[in-house]
Chains A and B, each alone.
Chain A
Amino acid sequence: MVATAPETTAKAAPAFTPTREPTKDALAKAHAPPALIDCDLHNELHGDVQALLPYVSQRWRDHVETFGARGPAGSYYPRFMDHRQDARPPSGKRAGSDLSYTRSHYLDPYNVAYGILIPLNPAPRQLNHELGAALATACNDWQVAEWLDQEPRLRASIAVPNEAPDLAVQEIHRRAKDKRFVQVQFSGRPQEPMGRRKYWPIYEACEEYGLKVMSHAFGSYGNPITGAGWGSYYLEDHVGPAQAMQANIISLVAEGVYDRFPNLKIVSVENGLGWFASLMWRLDASWRLLKAEVPHLQKKPSDYVRDHLYATTQPMEEPPKPAQFFELLDQLGSFVDHVLFASDYPHWDADQPDDAFPVRLSDELVKKIYFENASKLYGLT
C-alpha cells in the first residue's frame, strides 16, 4: 500500500535563491496585495552589542568595552551565511538594521499591515545577569526610538534577561504600558525547560498585562543543544529548534503552567509546524499511561497545546508530495487557527510572502494564516 515517494515534486525552498529581488509578480501586485501580518520580522543590531551601547550607562559601556558581553563559551554554531544579500541596504548597514530599506524592500511591496519585531539580542545569554538586564532595557529603548516611533506598522517583542526572572519582570513592568510591545521574548533553548517554576514570575507578569510569551528558535545557555550532547554542524543547530521547542512544550504542559495561568499564550517562532500533530499524539498516549505522576493536569495534554500554543510558518514544511501537505493540515485540525504567517526577513532562509507554501491554500486558509489568526491573537485590526 505504500509507494516510494518521488523526491522530485518538492518545491525548491525560497532559501535557494537568497540573492533574488522581490519577484516581478510581487512588484506588479504591489499596489494591492492583501494585507498581511508578519510574526517574525527581524530588526538587526548593526554591530551587535555595539549598537546598544548608546543606550546603556557609562558603567556598562566600560564593562562591555573591557570584558565583553559574555555568554556560555562554546555554544555557538557559525551561521551558513549572513542575511539575504538582496536585503543589504544601500547605506552599507547590516541587512535588517536599516528601517528605511526594510520599508521599501519588504514592508511596502508585500503590503505588510503589521510586522512584529523580534530583535535577536544579547540579553538572554549573558552570564552576568545585571548586564543582561541593562542590555535588555537598552534593546527595548532602541526599539522604541529607532523602530516603533518611526514606523506605525511595527509592533515589538520585549527583550528580557529570561534567566533572571526577577529582572525580567522589572523590564516587563517597565514596558507594559506601551501597547506596541505585544509579547515577551524567550531564548529558544533556555537554561531550564520552559515550564519550570523558575520562569513562573515571567508568566505571571505576562498574564497580568495580556502579553504573549514568544519563544524564538536557537540560542543556548550552556546546555548541549540536543538531549544527547553537542551536534557537529550548523545543519544540526538549524534542525534542532524543532526538538528544543517540543521539549519546552512538554514541560509547559507537564508543569501545569496553563492551569496556573489560564490566559497565557505561547508563540513558537521558527521551530516548525509539521511535528505538532505527532507530538500531541505522543503526549496523550504518554499521559494515559503516566497520569498518576502528573495528577494536577486538568485536561489531556493535546487540549492544552490546542488552546495555548501558536506556531509560525517559516521554515515551512515541504513534503515530497503536495497531497501530504494537505494531510498535515488535516492532522493539525483545529490547530490551523493557531498558525501564523512569518517571513523571518531578512535571514538567509526567509520565506517570501508570495512563495511561502508548497501548495496553493484555500482562500479561507490564506486569510486565516496571513492575517486573521494573528489579528485575533494580538488584537491587531
Chain B
Amino acid sequence: MTATAQSPAPTNISTRPPVIDCDVHNVVPAVSVLFPYLPDHWREHITNTLFKGPVDSAYPRKAPTTARPGSIPPDKKPAGSSLAHLRSDHLDPMNVETAILSCTYEVESLHNPDAAVALARAVNDWQIAEWLDQDSRLRASIVVPSQIPHLAAQEIDRVGDHPGFVQVFLPVRSQHMYGTRLYHPMWEAITRHDLVAAISFGGAPGVPPTPSGWPSYYFEEYAGMAQVFQSQLVNIVAEGVFDQFPTARVALLEAGFTWLPAFMWRLDKEWRNLRRLVPWVKRPPAAYIKEHVRFTIQPLDAPPDPRHLLQVIDQIGSDDLLLYASDYPHLHDADPDQLLFPDLSPTLAQKIRTENARAFYRL
C-alpha cells in the first residue's frame, strides 16, 4: 500500500462520481485573521501580549499526515487555510458536491474561559464570512469552548440556526467525558438546533491521551486516538445520552472504523452482564450506535488482506454507518478509490459516497 498521491489525476471531473465529503479542514493560519471578528479588548490583549492563540495542535505542522503533497497554498500558509486553493486542489477535481468543514482551532486548550469564548465566537464569524458565504458547496462545524459545557451551549445558541452550520466540533480528547451529566446542557443545545455532534480526532485538554499517561511519540497519539473515541462512545451510551436526547446524532471524524465490530461485541457483552448499573440503556449498545452514530472512512486502517476489510464492513451490520471523507488536507495511507470502492456493490458505494451523508446531515 502506498500513500495516497494527491493532486488527483488531471481533471476529467465528469468521470468521477460526486461525493459528499464529510471531513475537510479549514485552518486558521494565524490569530491575526480573526482580528476583524474580535472585540477591541481581545485585539489589544493579543497585540500587547504576543499571544498567538491556541498553538497546541494535534497536527504537527510539518508532519507528513498534516499536509498532503500539493495542499500547501501558493502563499505558503498552512494547508487548508485558503479557500481558493481548496477549490482548485480538492473540491473541483474530486467532484465534491458538498464539503463539511471541520475547523480544529483548539480553543479547548485555553484555560482562560474568556479567551476561549472570544476566540470561538471569532472563528465562527470568520467561518460564516470567509467560507460559508463564499461557496455554496460548503457546510461547517461550530467551534465551541467545549471545556465549559454551558458556555459551549451559549455559542451553539448564538450561531446554531445559521443554515451553513450542520454540526458542533468536539475534539475527542477532553477533560471530562462527553456523556457525563456536565455535558447535558450542551446536548440540549445541540439537539435543540438539530445539529450533529462531531467528535473529532485531536484536542488539547491538558489531560493525558491514554489511561497510562503521556506517550513519547506523535505516532502513538495518532494510532492511539482510536481508543479515545472508543471510550467516549462507551460513556455516551452508558450515561444514556441517546435515551435522554433521542434525536441526538453523533459523527466520529477520523476515528477509523475497522475496530468497530469487535468493539460492539465487547460492549454488548458488557451490557448484557452489567446493564443493571445503567437501567436506562434499554437496548444493546450496538443498536444505539447503529441508529445514532456515523463514521467517516478516513483513516481506512486497511488490513493487508482485502477480504478482511470486507468482513469488517459486513460485521458492522448496517449499510448506513460509513460516510465518505477525504480528511483534506491531511494525508492517509490508503486510497478508498483503490482499496474500498472497487470491492463494494454499486449501491453500497453510492451510499457511502453520498446518500448516507445526505440522509444523516439532511442535505
Contacts and interface: CB of A to CB of B under 8 A. Distances in A.
A268 to B, nearest CB: 13
B241 to A, nearest CB: 11
B210 A244 contact: yes
B210 A328 contact: no
Contacts of B287: 7
A313 to B, nearest CB: 13
A5 B261 CA distance: 11
Nearest to A236: B234
A282 B299 contact: yes
B215 to A, nearest CB: 5
A219 B175 CA distance: 20
B55 to A, nearest CB: 20
Q: Which of B178, B277, B302 has the most CB of A within 10 A?
A: B277
Interface stretch (B134-142, B151-159, B216-224): B216-224
A359 to B, nearest CB: 13
A7 B212 contact: no
A254 B344 contact: no
A86 B83 CA distance: 67
A339 to B, nearest CB: 14
A70 to B, nearest CB: 20
Interface stretch (B25-33, B186-194, B244-252, B315-323): B315-323
A278 B259 contact: yes
A292 interface: yes
Interface stretch (B42-50, B125-133, B160-168, B268-276): B268-276
Nearest to B269: A318
Given A1-B348, A243-B211, A317-B265, A281 B173 contact: no
B303 A331 contact: yes
Given A1-B345, A290-B64, A319 B261 contact: yes
Interface stretch (B16-24, B71-79, B88-96, B326-334): B326-334
A227 interface: yes
Contact of A243 (B227, B261, B277): B227
B116 to A, nearest CB: 18
A236 B263 CA distance: 13
B259 A4 contact: no
A13 B226 CA distance: 27
B272 A288 contact: no
B176 interface: yes
Nearest to B345: A1
Contacts of B232: 226, 228
A51 interface: no
A145 interface: no
B228 A226 contact: yes
Interface residues of A, number: 78
A235 B224 contact: no
Contact of A194 (B176, B212, B266, B344): B212
B212 A189 contact: yes
Contact of B258 (A193, A228, A282): A282
A321 B162 CA distance: 45
A193 B301 contact: no
B212 A190 contact: yes
A375 interface: no
A175 interface: no
Contact of B177 (A231, A251, A255, A290): A231
A254 B211 contact: no
Given A274-B262, A282-B226, A233 B238 contact: yes
Given A227-B173, A228-B228, A289-B333, A220 B274 contact: no
Interface string A131-174: 00000000000000000000000000000000000000000000
A160 to B, nearest CB: 16
Given A235-B278, A250-B215, A228 B177 contact: yes
Contacts of A191: 212-213
Interface in A266-308: 272, 274-275, 277-279, 281-290, 292-294
A192 B301 contact: no
A22 interface: no
Given A15-B273, A80-B277, A317-B262, A1 B175 contact: no
B12 to A, nearest CB: 29
Contacts of B333: 285-286, 288-289
B186 to A, nearest CB: 15
Interface of A: 1-5, 7, 10, 12-13, 15-16, 80, 189-196, 220, 223-236, 238-240, 242-244, 246-248, 250-251, 254-255, 272, 274-275, 277-279, 281-290, 292-294, 315, 317-320, 324, 327-328, 330-331, 349
7 contacts: A7-B268, A227-B211, A230-B177, A274-B266, A292-B64, A327-B308, A330-B311
Given A286-B219, A288-B1, A290-B65, 15 more contacts: A13-B273, A189-B212, A193-B215, A227-B173, A227-B210, A228-B231, A228-B235, A229-B180, A233-B238, A235-B278, A240-B211, A251-B220, A278-B226, A289-B3, A293-B219
What 6 A-B pairs are tightest by C-beta distance, nearest first? A274-B262, A226-B231, A247-B210, A227-B228, A243-B227, A5-B317
